[in-house]
Amino acid sequence: MSPVIVAIHQPQYLPYLGFFHKLAQCDVFVVLDDVQFQKNGLQNRNKIKTCKGWQWLTVPVLQRADQTIKEVRLNPQTRWSRKHWSALVTNYSKAPFFALYGDSIREILQAEHEYLGSLDMALVRFCAQALGIETPMTMSSELKVGPGKTQRLVNICQALNADTYLSGPGGKRYMEMELFERAGLTVKFQEFTSPVYAQQFADQGFLPNLSVLDALFCCGPEARALIGLDA
């Protein structure tokens, strides 16, 4: 039997290409939505390119202490979606493939999302589809595997009958490898280097690790090749 590879990652707002590279490299992708929300992290913001360099797009949220990601609500008192769409139009309307994806992104941004997780996943699923990634995704909160850092990862893998865990490179710094060994799980580490491609505003030079939208708007269907998939 072929190994069953599971990857686990917190939901992010319009994440960078490496997120989708990991998604494409596994058999089941678990969205870690029942861990604490990280203020000033990537769960509610990401970068785009402008004529002056990179710019954050930040989704305003109503946050309480010790709140899990799936509990975080969007702030309905702001016009963030209009501002984000305006920023995308300003900086990408002349990109080769903006017209191919723009309307769909606008509809998702302007839909009635109460929770941050709902917004994040609607965008992730659309971008994954645009990249031709069909990996099934499930929410960790639905698995009910209990607390713990490394042990939670092990429990998730076991709940999905996996034999291999695909970790980001940062996992080397904190994971207790012996827990995987005891469970009979193989750990592989993602190897991803931000690829260079033709971006808008060439005078700014190439800016790596921007939101996936930068690659989609600039490269279109060919963005698949940037994460190692056949074009």
d(CA 94, CA 89): 8
**Helix 17-24 and helix 116-130, axial crossing angle in degrees, nearest 10:** 70
Structure tokens at 131: 């990249």
Domain count, the chain: 1
pLDDT above 70: residue 1: no
Q: What is the pLDDT, as a whole number, of residue 66? A: 85
Rounded to 5°, the CA angle 210-214-217 comes to 170
Rounded to 5°, the CA angle 97-103-197 comes to 25
Closest CA to 109 of 67, 41, 68, 57: 57
Q: What are phi and psi of 48, to 5 degrees?
A: -125, 170
Structure tokens at 69: 């990601």
Instruction: Give this prediction's pTM.
Output: 0.95
- Averaged confidence pLDDT in the chain: 95
Q: What is the pLDDT, as a whole number, of residue 74? A: 96
Q: To which H or E segment does residue 156 belong?
A: helix 150-159
Cβ atoms within 10 Å of 124's Cβ, excluding its own: 24
Write out the residue range of the structural domain in which residue 14 sits.
5-227
The predicted-structure confidence for 33-81, as pLDDT tens digits, reads as follows 999 999 889 999 999 999 999 999 999 999 888 899 999 999 999 999 9
pLDDT above 60: residue 138: yes
d(CA 16, CA 195): 11
